[in-house]
Amino acid sequence: MFTILLISFATFVATLLGGLFALRLKDKLHLILGFSAGAVIAVAFFDLMPESIDLGGKYFSINTMLAITALGFVIYLLLDRLIFLHFHDHSDEHDDVGHTHESYGRAQYGRGILGASSLCFHSFLDGVAIGLAFQVSAAIGAIVAVAVLVHDFSDGINTVNMILKGQGDFKHALRWLIADAVAPVVGVASTLLFKVPEQGLGIILALFAGFFLYIGASDLIPESQHAHPKFLTTAMTLLGVAVLYIAVRFAGM
Of the listed ranges 130-139, 197-206, 228-237, the least confidently predicted one is 130-139
Which pLDDT score, from 0 to 100, does residue 215 have? 82
CB atoms within 10 A of CB 28: 14
Question: How does DSSP assign 74-103, residue by residue?
Answer: HHHHHIIIIIHHHHHHHHHT---HHHHHHH
Per-residue pLDDT tens digits for 142-185: 767 766 776 677 678 778 877 877 666 778 888 888 998 999 89
Residue 95 has pLDDT above 50, yes or no: no
Residue 166 near residue 225, CB atoms below 8 Å: no
| Burial call 66-84: b when 16+ CB within 10 Å, e when fewer | bebbeebbeebeebbeeeb
Q: What is the DSSP letter of 48?
A: I
- The pLDDT tens digits for 194-222 are 777 777 888 988 998 898 898 888 877 88
Nearest alpha carbon to residue 33 among 115, 104, 102: 115
Residue 87: pLDDT band (50, 70, 90) is very low
Task: Write down the mean pLDDT value for the chain.
Answer: 78
Give the span between the Cα atoms of 44 and 119, in whole angstroms. Answer: 12
Q: How confident is the model at residue 26 (pLDDT cuts 50, 70, 90)?
A: low
Decide which of 199 and 228 is more confident. 199
Q: Report the predicted TM-score, pTM, of the whole model to 2 decimal places.
A: 0.65
Q: Which of 33-37, 131-135, 183-187 has the highest mean pLDDT?
A: 183-187
202 vs 32, more confident: 202
Q: What's the whole-number mean pLDDT along residues 88-112?
A: 54
